[in-house]
Amino acid sequence: MRSNKYAGPCGECGSAVAAAAGQLIGLPGSWRTICLGCSPTPPPRRDHDGWHRTPLASLDFETTGIDPQTDRVLSYALLDDRGHDFAGLIDPGVAIPEASAAVHGLTAEALAGAPGPVDAIAEIVAWIQDLIERGIGLVVFNAAYDLTMLRAEADRWGLAQPDWERLFVVDPFVIDWGIERGGLGPRRLSDVAAYYGVLLDNAHDAVADARAARDIAYEIGMRHPTVAAGSLESLMLRQVVWFAGRAEDWNHYARKVGRSLDDPAGWPLARRDASIILSA
Ligand SMILES: [Zn+2]
């Protein structure tokens, strides 16, 4: 949940809420402040089977910016399904915008001496291909961003692509939208983590973010039996539909305020020729 920037009355009970003391909910363009007592909470954990009980891998990148077609991977976390965590830094060979470095702290100095992109990207691609061969689901929060960037990096460095059509992706950003229909306000990783009580004490560190994303996927599965039911394959199809719905809702708002549009067909990978940035 996102805290409110401005003071105002609670949209539910009317009590006064000081700036940053409450939370924002609602759809894009009509966010409203509510007090903590009126804040929605997730349903309780239940005991049912589902994809959340299968071992899942998780991936996260920190990058030079918000355009997955042109920006570069600076750090990566690959958490496999058997308890092994891999993490690494990449010297991208391009300038790192100050605004990006301010988010994750990865400056040119911090990356001096790190390997170049080719070997690291090849290693990440091989790691994903191994998940594909073994049928393991990969958790990626906002996969359309990270996976599109990985595909662009592999193209850039002349590397073979993983067999993307056979990859099972579990995207808590998209699933959360499918459950809440965007009604709970801005839902970036830290917002969804707070809502589900998932610890995220070092946001914008790739390992911490990848861990939180997988923990969120597990909490969603535990608390939403109908979402958890079914195979990873059927979850893929549902996420495609949810992503399209989210994009269409976003575009409805974006057209009114002149923001850039999302491609409803852009999950888990954007079209190669699509120019996309992170929305919401
Ligand atoms: Zn209230």
Q: What is the pLDDT along the chain (280 residues), one digit of tens a residue?
A: 788 889 999 999 999 999 999 988 888 778 889 999 998 999 999 999 999 999 999 999 999 999 999 999 999 999 999 999 999 999 999 999 998 998 898 988 889 999 999 999 999 999 999 999 999 999 999 999 999 999 999 999 999 999 999 999 999 999 999 999 988 988 999 999 999 999 998 888 999 999 999 999 999 999 999 999 999 999 999 999 999 999 999 999 999 999 989 999 999 999 988 766 555 4
Question: Nearest 5°: phi and psi at 231?
Answer: -85, 170
Give residue limits of the domains in the chain: 2-38+171-201+222-256, 51-166
Q: From ligand 1's centre to the CA of 187, what distance in Å?
A: 20
Q: From ligand 1's centre to the CA of 42, what distance in Å?
A: 17
Of 8, 73, 59, nearest to 34 by C-alpha is 8
Q: From ligand 1's centre to the CA of 37, what distance in Å?
A: 6
Q: Are 1 and 185 in contact (CB under 8 A)?
A: yes
Nearest 5 degrees, angle CA 174-CA 239-CA 128?
Answer: 90
Q: From ligand 1's centre to the CA of 40, what distance in Å?
A: 11
Q: From ligand 1's centre to the CA of 45, what distance in Å?
A: 25
Rounded to two decimals, what is the model's pTM?
Answer: 0.93
Residue 172: Cβ-neighbour burial (10 angstroms; 0-12, 13-18, 19+): buried
Longest dimension (CA), the chain: 59
Q: From ligand 1's centre to the CA of 184, what distance in Å?
A: 15
Q: From ligand 1's centre to the CA of 212, what distance in Å?
A: 28
Domain 51-166 has what CATH class?
Answer: alpha beta
Q: From ligand 1's centre to the CA of 216, what distance in Å?
A: 26
Q: From ligand 1's centre to the CA of 21, what distance in Å?
A: 11
pLDDT of residue 280: 46
Question: Nearest 5°: phi and psi at 71?
Answer: -75, 170
The DSSP secondary structure of the chain, one letter per residue, reads -EEPSS-EE-TTT--EE-TTTSEEEBSTT--EEE-GGG---PPPP----SGGGS-EEEEEEEESSS-TTT--EEEEEEE-TTS-EEEEE---SS---HHHHHHH---HHHHTT---HHHHHHHHHHHHHHHHHHT-EEE-TTHHHHHHHHHHHHHHTTPPPP-GGG--EE-HHHHHHHHHTTTBS---HHHHHHHTT---SSTT-HHHHHHHHHHHHHHHHHH-HHHHSS-HHHHHHHHHHHHHHHHHHHHHHHHHHTPPPP-TT-SSS--TT-------
Crossing angle for the helix pair 117-134 and 143-156, to the nearest 10 degrees? 120
Alpha-carbon gap, residue 174 to 187, rounded angstroms: 10
Q: From ligand 1's centre to the CA of 180, what distance in Å?
A: 20
Q: Cβ atoms within 10 A of the Cβ of 82, count?
A: 8
Q: From ligand 1's centre to the CA of 1, what distance in Å?
A: 15
Alpha-carbon gap, residue 69 to 73, rounded angstroms: 11
